[in-house]
C-alpha cells in the first residue's frame, strides 16, 4: 500500500476514534436472564448481555461493583451463575460492552429473584379451551392448601410475556381471572403461579399450561337417541346432543321446521332433550347445535341428521 494511502487511512481511523470519544459513551447494552429473572434456589441462570455492533469486551456488575469481565464475539456475552443462593445472588445486575479503549454506559438494572419454590398450582378454564371471538372466558387458579400461608398473590401468565397479565391477592386457596371479549390475539398458552403474601420472593412453580384457541369455526356436535331410534307410539324418549366443548346452550331442530324445537342452558359438554308420549308427528329428521356463550352470536354447525321412526301409528300426510 502506498505511504500516502496508509497515512490517510491512519488519519481517518484516528478521527473516527476521536469523534466516538467526543460522543460521550458507546450505546447502552441490554441485559436479560434465561430462563427467567425469577430463579429457584440451587438452579443455574444465564445473564445475557447484548452490546452494539463491534463490541468485543463485556463486564457484569452486581450491586454497582464489577463482578466479571470477558472477551466475546458477535456483540453478545453470557455470564452463568451456578446454583444460585438467595443471600449471595439475589441482587441487582447490569452490564456494559466495550470496543477499543471505550466502554458503554451500564445497561438498565436487572433484579434477580431467588425463590424457595412452593408446590405448583392447578389451572382450568370455563367454559372451555375453544372460544369464539367476543366471548368471555374465566381462568381459575387453585393452590394446595398450605396451613402456614394465610394469604397469597396469584398471577396469571401468558407465554411470551415478561410480566403477569393479572394479579390477585386472596386468602382463599383459589381465585379467578376474567378474560372478557376475547380476540384472536388472546389465543396462546396460559399458566398461573402464586407467592406468599408475606414474602414476595417466595413463589410457586408454574402450573401446567393450558392452550387457548380462539375460533369462529366450532366443532360439530353429535346427536343420538335413547333408548332407540325406532320407538312405539305413546312412549317417552330422549335425544342426546354432545359437543366436544363445554357449552352454555344447546338447541334441538327438526328438519322442515324453521323454529327451535327445544333449548337447554347448561355448563356441560352435552344436553338431553325429552320427547314425551311420541306420536307420528315426532317422526322425522333431527339435528342439534350449541353455543359457547349465551350472550354471543356464534353457533356451531348442525350435527349430522338423526332419523326418528315412531311405530304403531300411521304418519300424517304432509
Mark the ranges of the chain whose per-residue pLDDT is less than 50: 3-24, 315
**Domain 222-311 = CATH 2.102.10.10:** no
Whole-model pTM?
0.44
Residue 201's pLDDT is: 57
Nearest-CA neighbor of 126 among 189, 90, 179?
179
Residue 200's pLDDT is: 56
pLDDT in tens, 138-150: 999 999 887 667 7
CA–CA gap between residue 106 and residue 59 (Å, rounded): 9
- Work out the widest C-alpha separation in the chain, in whole angstroms: 115
pLDDT in tens, 9-61: 444 444 444 444 434 468 899 999 988 787 778 888 999 999 988 888 999 99
Domain ranges of the chain: 25-114, 122-214, 222-311
Residue 272, burial from CB neighbour count under 10 angstroms (0-12, 13-18, 19+): middle
| Beta-carbon contacts of residue 266 (< 8 Å; ≥ 6 apart) | 247, 248, 249, 250
Residue 147's pLDDT is: 62
CATH for 25-114, options being 3.40.190.10, 2.60.40.10, 3.30.230.10, 3.40.50.2300: 2.60.40.10
Q: What angle do CA 152, 110, 163 make, to 5 degrees?
A: 45
Q: According to CATH, what is the number of the domain 122-214?
A: 2.60.40.10
Q: Are 25-114 and 122-214 the same fold in CATH?
A: yes
Residue 177's pLDDT is: 97
Amino acid at each position: 500500500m502506498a505511504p500516502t494511502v496508509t497515512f490517510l487511512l491512519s488519519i481517518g481511523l484516528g478521527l473516527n476514534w476521536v469523534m466516538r470519544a467526543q460522543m460521550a459513551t458507546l450505546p447502552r447494552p441490554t441485559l436479560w436472564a434465561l430462563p427467567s429473572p425469577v430463579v429457584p434456589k440451587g438452579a443455574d441462570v444465564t445473564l445475557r448481555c447484548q452490546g452494539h455492533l463491534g463490541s468485543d469486551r463485556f463486564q457484569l456488575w452486581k450491586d454497582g461493583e464489577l463482578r466479571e469481565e470477558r472477551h466475546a464475539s458477535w456483540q453478545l456475552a453470557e455470564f452463568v451463575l451456578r446454583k444460585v443462593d438467595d443471600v449471595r445472588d439475589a441482587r441487582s445486575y447490569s452490564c456494559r460492552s466495550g470496543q477499543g479503549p471505550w466502554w458503554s454506559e451500564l445497561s438498565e438494572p436487572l433484579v434477580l429473584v431467588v425463590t424457595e419454590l412452593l408446590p405448583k398450582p392447578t389451572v382450568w378454564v370455563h367454559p372451555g379451551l375453544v372460544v369464539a371471538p367476543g366471548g368471555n372466558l374465566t381462568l381459575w387458579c387453585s393452590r394446595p392448601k398450605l396451613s402456614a400461608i394465610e394469604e397469597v398473590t396469584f398471577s396469571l401468565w401468558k407465554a411470551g410475556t415478561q410480566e403477569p397479565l393479572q394479579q390477585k391477592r386472596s386468602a382463599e386457596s383459589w381465585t379467578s381471572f376474567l378474560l372478557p371479549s376475547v380476540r384472536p390475539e388472546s389465543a396462546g398458552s396460559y399458566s398461573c403461579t402464586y407467592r406468599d403474601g408475606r414474602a414476595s420472593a417466595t413463589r410457586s412453580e408454574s402450573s401446567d399450561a393450558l392452550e387457548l384457541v380462539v375460533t369462529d369455526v366450532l366443532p360439530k356436535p353429535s346427536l343420538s337417541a335413547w333408548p332407540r331410534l325406532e320407538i312405539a307410539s305413546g312412549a317417552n324418549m330422549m335425544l342426546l346432543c354432545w359437543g366436544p366443548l363445554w357449552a352454555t346452550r344447546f338447541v334441538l331442530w327438526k328438519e322442515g321446521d324453521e323454529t327451535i324445537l327445544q333449548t337447554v342452558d347448561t355448563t356441560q359438554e352435552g344436553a338431553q332433550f325429552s320427547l314425551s308420549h311420541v306420536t307420528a308427528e315426532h317422526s322425522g329428521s333431527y339435528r342439534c347445535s350449541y353455543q359457547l356463550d349465551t350472550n354471543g352470536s356464534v353457533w356451531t354447525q348442525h350435527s349430522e341428521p338423526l332419523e326418528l321412526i315412531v311405530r304403531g301409528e300411521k304418519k300424517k300426510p304432509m
